Amino acid sequence: MRKRGRRWFAGAAAVSALVMVPGIVQAAWPQPAGWPTILSQSVDPEVGIARGVKFQDAALSTDAGPLRIHRIDVDLTAPQLRVQAVAAGDKIFAGRGETVSSMANRTGAVAGINGDYYDIGQTYGPLNILVANGQLYRSPIGWAALAIDGQNRASIVRFQWSGQVMVLPGGENLEAWQKSGQKTEAPSGQSQPLAAFNTFLGDQGIYLYDDKFGWTFPTPNPAARRVAVYLTKTADPAIYTVSSVVENSAVSPVPPGQAGLIGHEQWGDWLKGNMAPGEKIQVGLYTSPDWRSYQTVIGGGPILLKGGQVYADPQAPNPGETGRNPIMAVGLSADGRRMAMVAVDGRQPGLSIGLTRSEMAAYLQTLGYTDAIGFDSGGSVDMVVRRPGGSGVSVVNSPSDGSERAVADGLFVYSALPPEPPAPPEPPKPPAPPSGQEPGGGQPGSGQPGQQPGSGQPGAGQPGQPSSGQPGQQPGQQPGSGQPGQPGQQSGQNPHPSTGTQPGGGGSVTLPDAGSLIAGRPLVWQETVAESRSGDRLSVQVLDETADRVRSTDAGVSTFVLPVQTDAPAVDVHIPAPVWQAVADKTGGSGMVVVQTPIGVYQVPVKVVQPGAGDEEVLISVARPDGSVPLQGLVDQTGGTPVGDAVDFSVREVRSDGTAVPVSGGKAYFRALIPLGKNAGGPQDMGVFTYDVARHVWAPAPARVVTTGQEQAALVAQVSPGTYAAVRDPKSFVDMKGHWAEDPVARLAAAGVIGGVDGQHFAPDQPVTRGQFAVLLVRALGLETVQASPADFADVSADAWNRHEIDVVAREGLMAGVGGGRFAPDDPMTREQMIAVLTRAMNRVKGGLPPADTTVLSRFSDGGEVSNWAQGDVAVAVQTGVVVGSDGKLEPGKVSSRAEAAAMLGKILRFVQLSD
């Protein structure tokens, strides 16, 4: 509790600086047709990124809500400029995609945006044509694409595919045939159309894969005859030599210089009957128009503007989409020599509501563009810019997931000229300090349990019970970081904000980069009013006056950052109720407060705490855990190796009587960044766990591994604050080697979400039951520590191994009973059941999903077989691109296997940004 009559810092000098770059109001923003009414504007001045490339930010207030618009203007007549598409990892199926900033920095781009729609969470392969560096990476599917020719002229093109494979004559006959110039007709009718190139494998036709494919040949369909022909390249890029012909082959890599043809049934028979080792074949990668006429082609859709008019493209991804979303588009002038890349933030009511496709088209129309195309939108929207004087790009928009999403490809701008110099800085204008006191000069920082489902006794189909050991607590002792120091109890008060030197002369400290927890343009509570240290705890107080500064900030700011530089192993940040309420009011309840310390970084949604007025405050603590948390128990439980240091995070509402009440997130997620150091390992090797106080076990926590420079950190999503620790615990199963689901199973196993039926086998084809899937879901979403009242299902006993998880999924509305008061935990999950549950999980984690449009089910030959109760959820999964079907089918009644459950769960976790 803070004493109002006398400040606890005893009149010490204490000034809190709020840092931001105010917008510059320019001429009236044009009012595009069909837009909500623009009430006010704040437009930043244009920034020269390179000669011929400019960038501008704008924040608008409309009668429907705020809008944040980011635009890169490119003059394609500038001779030193080049616009190029880049594939994630320079492959079609890169495994897990790549962020736009990573692609830009590794290729030296000055600006860029995300590109095509893609198979999110699975292969991460783009869905449409891609031409990069003069090479065709994959064949088109009929949606529109942005194409740039050798004269740097841009246009929107719809490519049609007509590939072909031909068996060539041998010996002298081949030489004579080549000289004849007849390169498109086989000499003896030995030719077949190519169904596609470097795409998803279908059952109809012959498919070609080369070394740009990236992953491996698709898993064979055991129910169909399949033939694979392995090829070696020759000096002629269109001609290959057959190296082997294999029936029902297992998954095989595509090494450099090699390729492969795959066909099922009669197409496989044709391959087997017409090709033999040593023979020469020619492949024709033909499109109309010819892709070779362009230096860059990147798939997209829909067409937004056509010949100056708003266009509703009927042949596009989700053609019926009408809602406002984060959106990405490119506008072109009539001559194709001027281009604008535009990103609009969305799904963030306090920052930006997003635009519809037609609203984006109208905006580009007002700018004078005659043609425009949309690219993958929603959480994929990502724009990066290398600002003058910068060594690399930075994200300039506010991704709706809270951080960059790994995508399939991107479109980038390159300049042959040196980088633009930084603009001369304006003289600083700090707020006037109180009489006789100096403002602070510091700068902000730069920001299992036991066995798994299916791992119990052989034949039982149940997991074993967690074996964690008791944590040896004293009666009444709670795990965590100990009690925070209260105002008035500190010693050695430091009234001046830190300046990079640690209290007590501890030397300089480095704060973890908090960029992955900051959306858009943040407001930095630079240093703070005062610091007081008592032993190992540093107490930091924010002044009431900060509320006025929050209320006067730009409307686009939604994240408020407090950097704390200290060597103390525990930090307590006290934020007065008026300041907290000001943040909530300013952001419409969607704002975030980020506490940045060397121990870890913590992001707290303002909506999870509603402190009263007067002397009440919010207390955020970041600390090394004390001895009450059994860290060795985590090692014993998982068998893994600790990575980095454990961190305890807590949020308390301090009442006027001094009572500190713990706060949980409810439906919202806290997010924390835990430093891991260098060479910590990849997400397929690592798991992050939180200590479940009530059940005395370590439970899996959803986490992603992020890298800044050479440093790695775990970005953790938390339903409840607590103690978190990371372990390296790579898992492998002998029956998953080369399996199509090997990667998601390995990741979930390392994270403690899923396990094998024994120490070496996963049994990927075994059905997954409803009870097992409930456990998987709770662990994957980090809901294990949620305390739920009994759901009272007649067929789930009080001592059932999965009783807790079933109670949780029922309380959270993720899974319901099957009727008659039963849950049917031993019944297998069907695909439609699994898809419906995962759609609810997506909505629970991030919300903002589109309204269900059940007409999308008609795209699938068996769409009418989806049960009435599941149609809405399955439709949303299709609309968001999470479910794409297989060979034009959904197979709603098919029983889901353990491998399918792991793959779909991994895909959803990536979609909602809870996992890599």
- Per-residue pLDDT tens digits for 874-897: 999 888 777 877 777 899 999 999
Q: Taking CA 601 as the corner, what is the angle to CA 693 and CA 106, rounded to the nearest 5 degrees?
A: 125
Q: Are residues 104 and 90 in the same domain?
A: yes
Residue 702, in any domain of the structure:
yes
Instruction: State the Cα–Cα distance between residues 268 and 605, nearest whole angstrom.
Output: 56
Take residue 68 and report the two structure tokens written for it.
Answer: 């944040």
Q: Are residues 251 and 337 in the same domain?
A: no
Say which amino acid occupies 22.
P
Q: Using DSSP, state whether 524 is helix, strand or coil.
A: strand
Query: Between helices 871-879 and 831-845, what is the axis angle to 10°?
Result: 70
> Residue 54's pLDDT is what?
96
The 10 Å Cβ neighbour count of residue 314 is 9
Residue 124, in any domain of the structure:
yes
Tell me which of 672, 707, 728 is where a domain ends.
728
Assign 20 a pLDDT band (cuts: 50, 70, 90): very low
Instruction: State the Cα–Cα distance between residues 758 and 733, nearest whole angstrom.
Output: 9
403 or 4, greater pLDDT: 403
Assign 105 a pLDDT band (cuts: 50, 70, 90): very high
> Residue 345's pLDDT is what?
95
Residue 506 has pLDDT above 90, yes or no: no
Instruction: State the Cα–Cα distance between residues 24 and 21, nearest whole angstrom.
Output: 9
Residue 21, in any domain of the structure:
no
Q: What is the distance of C-alpha 311 from the center of its chain? A: 30
For CA atoms 672, 687, 763, 207, the dihedral sign is positive
Instruction: Name the percent of the chain lying above pLDDT 90.
Output: 41
Residue 182 has pLDDT above 60, yes or no: no
Residue 161 has pLDDT above 90, yes or no: yes
Say which amino acid occupies 655.
R
Residue 816 has pLDDT above 70, yes or no: yes
Instruction: State the Cα–Cα distance between residues 509 and 529, nearest whole angstrom.
Output: 19
Residue 463 has pLDDT above 60, yes or no: no
Q: For 191, phi and psi rounded to 5 degrees?
A: -145, 155
Q: Using DSSP, state whether 770 is helix, strand or coil.
A: helix
Residue 463, in any domain of the structure:
no
Q: Are residues 665 and 806 in the same domain?
A: no
> Residue 22's pLDDT is what?
28
Take residue 537 and report the two structure tokens written for it.
Answer: 């705890």
Q: Are residues 115 and 190 in the same domain?
A: no
Residue 737 has pLDDT above 50, yes or no: yes
Q: Picking from 244-248, 252-256, 525-529, 872-876, which range would have the lowest pLDDT averaged per residue?
A: 525-529
Quick one: which of 646, 722, 647, 731 has its CA closest to 686?
731
Instruction: State the Cα–Cα distance between residues 624 and 807, nearest whole angstrom.
Output: 32
What's the pLDDT tens digit per position in 634-668? 888 888 888 888 999 999 999 888 888 888 766 67
Q: Are residues 679 and 740 in the same domain?
A: no
Instruction: Give the pLDDT mean for 297-316.
Output: 95
Assign 832 a pLDDT band (cuts: 50, 70, 90): very high
What's the pLDDT tens digit per position in 348-378? 888 899 999 999 999 999 999 999 999 999 9
Say which amino acid occupies 420.
E
> Residue 539's pLDDT is what?
92
Q: Are residues 713 and 771 in the same domain?
A: no
The 10 Å Cβ neighbour count of residue 65 is 18
Residue 718, in any domain of the structure:
yes
Tell me which of 285, 315, 346 is where a domain ends.
285
Residue 435, in any domain of the structure:
no
Q: Picking from 415-424, 607-616, 730-739, which range would have the lowest pLDDT averaged per residue?
A: 415-424
Instruction: State the Cα–Cα distance between residues 564 and 545, nearest whole angstrom.
Output: 19
Residue 89 has pLDDT above 80, yes or no: yes
> Residue 371's pLDDT is what?
98
Q: Are residues 170 and 133 in the same domain?
A: no
Element (H, E) at 674: strand 670-677
Assign 329 a pLDDT band (cuts: 50, 70, 90): very high
Q: Are residues 763 and 880 in the same domain?
A: yes
Q: Are residues 747 and 707 in the same domain?
A: no
Q: Picking from 514-518, 533-537, 572-576, 750-754, which range would have the lowest pLDDT averaged per residue?
A: 514-518
Residue 7 has pLDDT above 70, yes or no: no
Q: Picking from 153-167, 431-445, 691-705, which range would have the lowest pLDDT averaged per residue?
A: 431-445
**Beta strand residue intervals within 475-569, DSSP E:** 491-494, 523-526, 530-534, 537-541, 559-563
Assign 133 a pLDDT band (cuts: 50, 70, 90): confident
Instruction: State the Cα–Cα distance between residues 562 and 403, nearest whole angstrom.
Output: 19
Residue 1, in any domain of the structure:
no
Instruction: Give the pLDDT mean for 309-330.
Output: 93
> Residue 666's pLDDT is what?
67
Residue 680 has pLDDT above 90, yes or no: no
What DSSP letter does each residue of 61-83 carry, written as one string?
A: EETTEEEEEEEEEEETT-TTEEE
Q: Picking from 227-231, 254-258, 584-588, 618-622, which range would have the lowest pLDDT averaged per residue?
A: 254-258
State the chain's mean pLDDT as an integer.
Answer: 80
Domain containing 645: what range? 491-728
687 or 327, greater pLDDT: 327
Take residue 504 and report the two structure tokens written for it.
Answer: 């007590």
Residue 118 has pLDDT above 90, yes or no: yes
Q: Are residues 167 and 263 in the same domain?
A: yes
Q: Picking from 4-13, 429-438, 614-623, which range would have the lowest pLDDT averaged per residue?
A: 4-13
Residue 802, in any domain of the structure:
yes
Secondary structure letter of residue 532 according to DSSP = E
Q: Are residues 386 and 510 in the same domain?
A: no
> Residue 18's pLDDT is what?
32
What's the pLDDT tens digit per position in 71-81? 999 999 998 99
Tell me which of 285, 305, 334 is where a domain ends.
285
41 or 477, greater pLDDT: 41
Q: Are residues 693 and 772 in the same domain?
A: no
647 or 590, greater pLDDT: 647
Residue 129 has pLDDT above 60, yes or no: yes
Instruction: State the Cα–Cα distance between residues 164 and 860, nearest whole angstrom.
Output: 27
Instruction: State the Cα–Cα distance between residues 671 and 517, nearest whole angstrom.
Output: 8
Q: Provide the domain count of the chain.
A: 4
Instruction: State the Cα–Cα distance between residues 763 and 18, nearest whole angstrom.
Output: 56
Residues contacting residue 635 through CB under 8 Å, at least 6 positions apart? 641, 642, 727
Instruction: State the Cα–Cα distance between residues 621 and 564, nearest whole angstrom.
Output: 12
> Residue 469's pLDDT is what?
33
Assign 446 a pLDDT band (cuts: 50, 70, 90): very low
Assign 146 a pLDDT band (cuts: 50, 70, 90): very high
Instruction: State the Cα–Cα distance between residues 340 and 346, nearest whole angstrom.
Output: 19
